[in-house]
Structure 1
Amino acid sequence: MLKCTACGREYSMRKPYQRCECGEPLELELFESVPGIGRRVWERFSGFFPFDLKPELSLGEGDTPLTKAKKLSREIGVKVYLKNETTNPTWSFKDRGTYLGIHRALQLGFKKIGTVSTGNMAASVAAYGAFAGLETYILVSSTIAEEKLKALEVYGAKIVKVHGDYGGLYYKSLEIGQKKGIYFINSDDPFRVEGYKSISFEIIEEITPDYVLVPTSSGGLFRGIVKGFLELRESGLIEKLPTFVAVQAEGCSPICRAFREGKEKIERFKNPHTIAHAIENPYPPSGNAVLRRLKELSGLCVTVRDEEILEAQRALGREGLFVQPASATGVAAIRKLRERDAIEKGAKVVGILTGAGLKTLSYIKAPKVEECLLESFEECFGE
């Protein structure tokens, strides 16, 4: 059964419902189960998912590393763990949600799928659509960078560049999908959210965190991670929840602004501008749902400046991890919260690294390069 995250209205699983008539996102009710034995997270936690998951639709998503950041831990004074979602097939966390979304589309009999995205989700849906043999539509903004379009070419999807208000394209795509028989696996589709909760299951297999920091755009990833931990508690597998922290770039932070001002609903963020393009969403479709969760669970919402994001990206590089700017926002927020004493010394803190740095090379400076003649090669190494 699907249920509205705001008014509680229930919807049947037999039809492709994605949002409530009140305008808010839908979500599956909490699952209670116990983990089993299996090589993949989908097998070990199979009882927590709404249907049997087919290995033949998988590209190998999930079961990503949880790495302790030794340098950052010493520097900041907390135990920093990094959930490295860059190792997924298309280099971002989106693959987990797309895997569940493909199942849902096929379950309902769709032969066409699509998404609205200019980055990680576009690549993910294009790749999984190609693998499943589905006709795939990727709707992108008219201002999309050429490097992002090139990343989609190899999958053979139909790419449509849409001129006009990109913020309204999410809702328009759902209308078009109903008319044209296309299942749009958009950012906070209920089954995409189901895929994201697998991150929580993997974290709890290794540590019991005190804080989990989530780079937040549409709100689907945040909702999925929270839902995963809620199901673990409902099932008696953990006693208490971590403190959940939604992280946004200061230059586009509609959720954090509404949270800070004590509002019940978000408002469109005017003139957004940040290097963290992957989370630059001025009117996130799950923004109100994230607000409700933050207030209900005593969570936090933190903004970070572009300079702090770039510094965090470099700090992650020194840990051997190359991430896109949006992925670095969590680490920037850990540092900021620790400076404010909002995170206690020695706490176990997990930051979600959402996407790989290779996707945003335009913000990386060329390194300093030394040149040597072969005849004097040894001198280049100094004394």
Structure 2
Amino acid sequence: MRTWRLICPVCGKTYDKLVQRCSCGEPVEFEHFKGEPYIAKTIWERFWDFWPVEPEMELSLGEGDTPLVKSKLGKELGVKLYLKNETVNPTWSFKDRGTFLSVSYAVKAGHKTVGTVSTGNMAASVAAYAARAGLNAKILVSESASDEKLKAVSVYGADVIKVRGDYGRLYFESLKLGEKLGIYFINSDNPFRVEGYKGIAFEIAEELTPEYVLIPTSSGGLFRGIAKGFIELKESGLIEELPTLIAVQAEGCSPICRAFKEGKARIERFENPKTVAKAIANPYPPSGNAVLKLLHEFDWKCTTVDDDEIIEDQRELAEEGLFVQPASATGIAALKKLAKSGEIEEGAKVVSILTGSGLKVLSHMPAGRISNCLLEELENCIRSGS
């Protein structure tokens, strides 16, 4: 194991032993790492000095090193727009980065069972990497989670447990039971998971120097990881300036943005959340206060978009050949608003994070252009369709 110390980003308390949350109730994170990149094939090897645990490369499924795609939408909006395509990770979302590093730790620490609280991207990711590592997996989901959706989790051999009760309490209960039962829970803002997300910032910086990075934000772990990555690059002298990070939330569930706009230091529960972007619909995000502190400290931004905007931009991204979850399209919807208002200036270099694949959530999608045709009339059908 490497030498490290944990710190609470909200109250500043430090820990020399591994904990997941501070005594003040907030998530902890590893103190900043400094180093130099190496010439190597994978993101894990190139930035070897920046991880709190040595990555177990034999457990890798090929996560990371995702493409940064230049978007034609940028020309329409007057900016240079790049899309960080996290949908090509092994289980089709950015979660694989954090899961891989967390499972690397779990194996080194001798854990036999890992778990998570999730009904979507993280559930599939933890189940897949647990299978890769030969670990047992306990996936805790809400009672309302559909059996169809959970097939993509149980196929890896994980134990999927539907829990009746307050889903918000389930996160904290899982950590308590994990300590009691010897299960290492890799939830949304597990400190190793947050470290894994730093790789997104590292990979972006290897290719360009953006002025703005748009990040769909739910629990806050992804935002914290990308922020920490850029901060460590600057402290190591590898970049000169930090980009402006923009947390993006759906209007129908935006506790962080609401607190930010009201100038508050703490988030409040968002009652009756309703949005098509269910992957970021967390009414009381466990890293919400930590994200809020970063937004205030660095004068970063938080913006919301409505469901109509999300669906429209999901369609526009599909027209570029990128089919993403509604949550992934929130960055483009936010960019349109900020470019129109002048908050993002013309000609700026902008990166939007595409967090997960649209193939995971097909229920709300329209059928598109589908028609019927007799074989004898095929030529006419093809001509009329063009």
Q: Which amino acid aligns with 2:16?
A: S
Gaps spanning 5+ residues in structure 1: where?
A: none
Give 1:319 shift: 1.0
Alignment of 1:294-373 (within 5 A): 294-373=295-374
Q: Could you tell me how far apart the structure 2 residues matched to 1:173 and 1:276 are?
A: 25
Matched with 2:24 is 22
Matched with 2:205 is 204
For the aligned residue pairs, the C-alpha RMSD in angstroms reads 1.0
Q: Could you tell me how far apart the structure 2 residues matched to 1:366 and 1:377 are?
A: 21
Q: Could you tell me how far apart the structure 2 residues matched to 1:240 and 1:331 are?
A: 23
Give 1:326 shift: 0.7
Give 1:232 shift: 0.5
Which range moves more in the overlay, 50-59 or 292-301?
50-59
Q: Does the 8 Å CA contact 2:53/2:101 hold for their aligned counterparts? A: no
Question: Match for 1:5 among 5, 9, 29?
Answer: 9
Q: Which amino acid aligns with 2:217?
A: T
Identity %: 65
Alignment of 1:1-383 (within 5 A): 1-13=5-17, 16-70=18-72, 72-382=73-383
Give 1:168 shift: 1.0
User: Hey, which bits of structure 1, 4+ residues long, moved more than 6 A?
Assistant: none
Q: Could you tell me how far apart the structure 2 residues matched to 1:269 and 1:147 are?
A: 28
Q: Could you tell me how far apart the structure 1 residues matched to 2:326 and 2:300 are?
A: 23
Q: Which amino acid aligns with 1:162?
A: V
Q: Deviations over 1:25-60 (max 9, x none)?
A: 101011111111111000111111112212111111
Q: Could you tell me how far apart the structure 2 residues matched to 1:281 and 1:73 are?
A: 29
Q: Which amino acid aligns with 1:125?
A: V
Gaps spanning 5+ residues in structure 2: where?
A: none
If the length of structure 1 is used for normalisation, what is the TM-score? 0.98
Q: Could you tell me how far apart the structure 2 residues matched to 1:146 and 1:80 are?
A: 38
Give SS of 1:197's match. helix
Q: Could you tell me how far apart the structure 2 residues matched to 1:27 and 1:242 are?
A: 21
Give 1:378 shift: 1.7
Q: Which amino acid aligns with 1:45?
A: F
Give SS of 1:303's match. strand
State the aligned residue count.
380
Q: Could you tell me how far apart the structure 1 residues matched to 2:21 and 2:372 are?
A: 59
Give 1:146 shift: 2.7
Give SS of 2:350's match. strand
Give 1:148 shift: 1.4
Q: Which amino acid aligns with 1:26?
A: V
Give 1:151 shift: 1.1
Q: Which amino acid aligns with 1:9?
A: K
Q: Could you tell me how far apart the structure 1 residues matched to 2:328 and 2:298 are?
A: 24
Which range moves more in the overlay, 368-377 or 24-33?
368-377
Q: Does the 8 Å CA contact 2:127/2:139 hold for their aligned counterparts? A: yes
Give 1:169 shift: 0.7
Q: Does the 8 Å CA contact 2:127/2:154 hold for their aligned counterparts? A: no
Q: Could you tell me how far apart the structure 1 residues matched to 2:219 and 2:252 are?
A: 15
